[in-house]
Every structure is written in C-alpha cells, then in structure tokens.
Amino acid sequence: MKRAGFTTVWLPVALLLPQLMIIAIFFYWPAAWAVQSSFYLQDPFGFGSTFVGVENYTDLMTNSEYGKVARFTLIYTVLVTFFSLALALLLAVKADKVIRGAKSYRTLLMWVYAIAPPVAGFLGLMFFDQRNGPLTEMFQFFGWEFRLGADFNSTATAMVIVAVWKQIPVNFIFFLSGLQSIPKAVREAALIDNRSATGRFWDVTFPLLAPTAFFLLIINITYALFDTFGIVDTLVRSEPGNNPVTLVYKVFVDGFRGNDLGGSSAQSVILMILVLVLTVFQFRLIERRIHYT
C-alpha cells in the first residue's frame, strides 16, 4: 500500500469485484468441492453419494496402480528437471560469453517457448513413430527395440525427451538474464583472482546464479507435474493402457473416463497439498533471493 493512497472506499471495492467473483466461482468453489467429494463415494450411475471418510485416500495409498504412477511421476520429474536445467545452463553460459551472433542464438534458443505442449507432443509422435520415426530408427540402430505406445520404457523416454526439449527455452531465458545481472565488477574481480575459467564459473558465477537455479527448480518441478499434460496425452494417443502416465493425467483419467469422482478428487487434494508445499518452499526461496541481491 502506498503512503499517500486514495481514501475512496467504493472504487477499490468495485475494482476488486470482478477478480474476486471469478476466483470465487472458478477457484474457491471448485477447490472446496474437490475437498468435499474426496470424502464421498459417488454412485457410478450418478444417483447420490455416500460419505466414506478417508476411505478414498486409504484406497489410493494401498492401490499398487497409484503407487506405480506416483513412482513414474517422481522419476519423470527428476529427469525432466535435471536435463532441461543442465542443458539450458550450458547454453546460457555460452550464449552469455559470445559476442558475435549473441542475439541470433538467443532467438533460436528460446522461440520453442511458444509451442504448445500437445503440439510438441505431436512432433514427438512423428519423430518416435513406430514404423519410420527418425529417432525410433536411431534407437534401433543402437540395438534398442523402441516401440512408442507399446513399451513402457520407450514411451517414458519419448515423454522425457519431448518435455525437456519444450522446457529448455524457459530455463535458458532465466539463466541468461540471471547471468547478465551479475555485476561486471564482480566478474572482473573474479578474473583477477582466478586464472581458470572453470574455477571462476563454479566459485563465483554459479553461486551467484544459485537463487535463479533454485527458483527454476520449483518452476520445473511444477512444469513436469502439471504443464506436460498435453505432451503425455498426445504421446499416449489418449489411450493410457499400459503406458506411463503422470499423477495429473491419472486425476483426469479416473475422473472423466473412470467416473470415479471420489478417488479422482482425493488425488486432486493430494496434488493440491503437494503444490502447496512446493509453493511455500518457493516463497521462502524468493525471500532469500531478495536478501541475496
């Protein structure tokens, strides 16, 4: 709030009203509804529901299928986050160094940001096509019977590759802007203190970049968990079957295909808690980030 804020009362209320109404109807109501229905068992034919307490949750915990999906989601998230961050960091460090063509590199490395995840997934379908996809052929050349959509590991690999490809630009942009905000004097001081470029990177540049990296870590985890829905859906051709899927995808499948409202809601609530934890974590990091600079 500004020191000398306006004192009118009706105007700010009117200004806030649209936003508050929208989030009440499309955020708080649905969220409350999800929490509530996670404690109920829905009749499959839509005739009422019975209160079952935490049964939906205990079912999930003991369900081996859910455990499998959770495990895959974890591995998938770790791989996507690691590779997209590592590759983007490498490219950003190089792009920050070169002078000639810096702008062109920047453009070429970030435009993929604008491609929708399912469109990226569709490109993946073509590249990993079972009969004549160029990447399938490459894997086969190395002796791997790559079969997208039929073999669990093949599909998982394709998902990770497409998700990483789609996420590199965001990380690249953040890393580059993080690098460029390191004061010139600090770089020059490091140049005088340390002869080795690698040493300078790990001793000076990387620690100064750490706040950005922490921040991106959360962004990437959220991305892998939620935003890759389109990639997953396209690569499994909307037919999960025996294919790997992520937790969010399972919420969708159980809720809309399986009509298991209670189970799907319980999964939603678990994800909500997960996001909540991540966000709190992120918030503390952002606070530290401010102190850092």
Partner 1 sequence: MADLTQSDGVLSATTSRQRPRIKLRHIADHAILMAGALLMVFPVVLVLMTTSFSDADIAKHGLQLGFEGNMLENFEAAMFEASGFTKTITGTRMLMNSMILGLGFAIGKIVISMMAAYAIVYFRLRFATFAFWIIFTTLLLPLEVRILPSYEAIQSLGLANTYTGLIVPLIASATGTFFFRQFFRSIPEELVEAARIDGAGPVKFFIDILVPLSRTMIAAIFIIMFVYGWNQYLWPTLITTDEGLFTLVRGIKQIVQVLSQTGAMIPEYGKALALSLIAMIPPVLIVIFFQSWFVKGLTESDK
Pick 75 or 280: Cβ nearer partner 1: 280
Pick 64 or 208: Cβ nearer partner 1: 208
Name the residue among 257, 261, 205 with its Cα closest to residue 90: 205
> In angstroms, what is the minimal distance from the CB of 147 to partner 1?
15
DSSP state of 270: H
Pick 47 or 64: Cβ nearer partner 1: 47
Name the residue among 256, 249, 253 with its Cα closest to residue 227: 249
The β-bridge relationship of strands 49-51 and 40-42 is antiparallel
Compute the distance between CA of residue 216 and CA of residue 26 in angstroms, rounded to an integer: 28
Pick 33 or 51: Cβ nearer partner 1: 33
> In angstroms, what is the minimal distance from the CB of 174 to partner 1?
6
> In angstroms, what is the minimal distance from the CB of 59 to partner 1?
17
Compute the distance between CA of residue 172 and CA of residue 106 in angstroms, rounded to an integer: 9
Task: Pull the structure tokens for residue 233.
Answer: 């859906």
> In angstroms, what is the minimal distance from the CB of 244 to partner 1?
17
**Residue 37: C-alpha distances to residues 24, 53, 56, 121, 266 (Å):** 18, 10, 10, 33, 8
Place of tokens 């690999």: 157
> In angstroms, what is the minimal distance from the CB of 216 to partner 1?
11
Task: Pull the structure tokens for residue 181.
Answer: 């905000």
Pick 153 or 177: Cβ nearer partner 1: 177
> In angstroms, what is the minimal distance from the CB of 226 to partner 1?
4
**42, 261 contact by CB (below 8 A):** yes
Pick 64 or 98: Cβ nearer partner 1: 98
